[in-house]
Amino acid sequence: MDDKKRLRSEDWFNNLSDPKITALYLERYLNYGLTRDELQSGRPLIGIAQTGSDISPCNRIHLQTAERARDGIRDAGGIPFVFPMHPIQESCRRPTSGLDRNLAYLGLVEIMRGYPFDGIVLTTGCDKTTPAALMAAATVNLPSIVLSGGPMVDSYLDGRLAGAGTVIWEARKRLAAGEIDYDGFMMMLESTTLSPGHCNTMGTALTMNCLAEALGMSLPGCAGIPAPFRQRGQMAYQTGRRIVEMVHEDLRPSEIMTREAFENVVVVNSAIGGSTNAPPHIQAIAKHMGVEMVVEDWQEIGYEIPLLVNCQPTGDFLGEGFHRAGAVPAVMLELLQAGRIHGGCKTVSGKSVAENISGRESLDRQVIMPFDSPLIPQAGFMVLSGNLFDAALMKTSGISAKFRKRYLCEPGNENCFDARAIVFEGPEDYHDRINDAALMIDDSCILVIRGCGPIGYPGSAEVVNMQPPDEMIAAGISELPTMGDGRQSGTSSSPSILNASPESLAGGNLALLETGDMIRFDLNNSRVELLISEHELHARRDAYQPPELINGSPWEELSRTYTGQLSDGACLDFATAYRNLGDEPLRHSH
């Protein structure tokens, strides 16, 4: 007796109880050469969510990896179907790709739910493709596996390793100081773009792919392989084979993306020096999965974790060196041996975390350091609060020695400083006025930007890592404290206070801040306080008139209406109530 489980796809293509509707679903898929025998064979139908395209260069490698994934699916007995996913290119999308994560999520949910897939390969790369894909996998809960695209190969400037993205921030400072001209700026840019792939620094792209692996949603070693390496194609093939096995095992995201797995992610993010964009993305995935997670978890679980990965922007090396040193498995083995992660969590390999990383020691201790001899002893995020916002993040591993000496080393007042606020209404205002001598900006100031969150921008833009006035940069002061209700690029090393929630356009008191106000920063107690009286604060609130919001597109209006705050994942709040959509019976289309 054959007790093989009936596949979801058979309800479309092999429904013996309703041949009329089966014929309708089946017939058009024959027009490019597929056969009835294939589609009615009981073999798993596997979707490959294609994020690569000419307008998504960070993911374009997937035009090749998808072919190897197809080969793996076929060889394992499945039938592959490649379909397009909403494109996201962090560096080019205007006004911000922050608008696209939730839009890509919505589209992918409808495709996964509404078409005859038994399992899904999620191709990821550029920053927001990874969370969008995992959010959809959480909502639909079909067997799913992440295939990362990988970073570009290592790049150099003046004979030294120089990472993509990070070089742009350095080039901006050199341009401001008069050290280079326009052509020199462009030459610096070109020097770090040597191959297919996403940023080769530990920016948001590499961070999120590493965290997808730490979460258990990709095969061991997947995140770190540079895009052009032969191992990337081999990983794509193995991923294709594995998703077919996962369908037969009925291994679903809900068995993998558990509370313990998300705790592992927080710890790994600290150890790799991950991006400040990780918390809203990871919290969004958890929220769609139905796993309880709050922004304070990033400090409570992750703050004490040391920085083990010596990778730019907080270290010296780049993605290729990280891969050669052992990448995520080597980092997780250090953390497991130190008792800091849960080794029993299930992963897409069918094995536990502990089984996956057994014997995967670091192969280069300059790149992936021992737990007891780290680059920085405490590298996690600090979650700050006070009378300006309920929560904001600070990446403590991004605090440079110069910054610490200038602001955090006053005897008897260590890790505390007061600063005079210089307030900008968005990046346009910042660029227009940063060199205005009337502002009297010096090293006692903090640059503050607002109107840049999910509602204000909209979508939340990467604009908080502001640089000082040109005159200060020329004098050797290359960074000032910065703060805002937007985000910043993960390739930036600026120790900004960002993701402030609620944002200024959602009732946050950042809206009431005025240039010249004094703000006290107490990192010992995770507090940020505007130094005015409660009476004055209430008076400002009573007098406040919010700016008019002008929506540039239908999606901007929808996004502003339904998207939550960064501290809570910036999800479409209504969407998080939907679960297990892959199991829901669907009405027929005709």
* For residue 51, pLDDT beyond 50: yes
Mean pLDDT computed over 457-486: 95
Tell me: do 173 and 206 sit in the same domain.
Answer: no
What are the residues facing 122 on neighbouring strands? 49, 146
Residues 516 and 451 in one domain: yes
Domain contains 168: yes
Rounded Cα distance, 454 and 308, in Å: 32
Is residue 371 domain-resident? no
pLDDT at 338 over 60: yes
Residue 558 lies in a domain: no
Q: Is residue 5 part of a domain?
A: no
Res. 426: pLDDT tops 80:
yes
pLDDT > 90: what percent of the chain? 93
Would you say residue 403 lies in a domain? yes
In the chain, the number of structural domains is 3
* Summary mean pLDDT of the chain: 96
Transcribe 491-522 into DSSP letters.
T-----EEEEES-GGGT-GGGG--TT-EEEEE
**CA–CA separation, 228 and 153 (whole Å):** 8
Whether residues 503 and 413 fall in one domain: yes
Say if residue 494 is in the same domain as residue 405: yes
Q: How confident is the model at residue 31 (pLDDT cuts 50, 70, 90)?
A: very high
The pLDDT tens digits of the residues spanning 96-143 come to 999 999 999 999 999 999 999 999 999 999 999 999 999 999 999 999
- Residue 563 inside a domain? The answer is no
Q: Looking at the structure, do residues 534 and 495 belong to the same domain, yes or no?
A: yes
Long-range contacts of 242-245 (CB under 8 A, 24+ apart): 242/72, 242/76, 242/145, 242/348, 242/349, 243/46, 243/73, 243/78, 243/119, 243/120, 243/121, 243/143, 243/144, 243/145, 244/44, 244/46, 244/72, 244/73, 244/76, 244/77, 244/78, 244/119, 245/76, 245/350
Q: Which residue has the higher pLDDT, 584 or 260?
A: 260
pLDDT at position 138:
98
Please indicate, yes or no, whether residues 98 and 230 belong to a single structural domain of this protein: yes
User: Per-residue confidence at 289, pLDDT binned at 50, 70, 90?
Assistant: very high
CATH number for position 479? 3.50.30.80
570 φψ region: left (φ > 0), alpha (ψ -120 to 50), beta (else): left
For residue range 340-388, list pLDDT tens digits in order: 999 999 999 999 999 999 999 999 999 999 999 999 999 999 999 999 9
User: Is residue 139 located within the same domain as residue 288?
Assistant: yes
Query: Which residues have C-beta within 8 Å of that of residue 63, sequence separation ≥ 6?
Result: 50, 52, 53
pLDDT at 1 over 60: no
Tell me the per-residue pLDDT of 549-561, one tens digit each, with 9 for 90 and over.
999 999 999 999 9
What is the per-residue pLDDT for 589? 92
Q: Are residues 222 and 353 in the same domain?
A: yes
Q: Do 90 and 110 belong to one domain?
A: yes
Strands 119-124, 45-50: pairing kind: parallel
The pTM (predicted TM-score) of the whole model is 0.97
What b/e readout covers 281-311, taking b as 16+ CB neighbours within 10 angstroms?
Answer: bbbbbbbbbebebebebbbebbbebbbbbbb
Residues 127 and 236 in one domain: yes
For the segment 521-533, the average pLDDT, to the nearest whole number, is 97
Q: Under a CB-based contact definition with an 8 Å cutoff, are residues 484 and 531 in contact?
A: no
Q: Of 296, 294, 383, nearest to 568 (Cα)?
A: 294
Domain coverage including residue 340? 43-153+195-357
Query: Which of 572, 453, 498 shows the shortest CA–CA distance to 295?
Result: 498
Classify residue 426 as left (phi > 0), alpha (psi -120 to 50) or beta: left
The residue written with tokens 């200060």 in the block is 472
Tokens read off for 132: 């969008």
**204 contacts 130 by C-beta, under 8 angstroms:** no
In a domain, 7, yes or no: no
pLDDT at 3: 57
* Over residues 427-447, mean pLDDT: 97
Do 399 and 469 lie in a common domain? yes
What are 245-260's pLDDT values in tens digits? 999 999 999 999 999 9
Which band of pLDDT confidence, cut at 50, 70 and 90, is reported for residue 519?
very high
Same domain as 117, residue 207: yes
Cis peptide before 226 (omega within 30 of 0): no
**Is residue 3 domain-resident?**
no
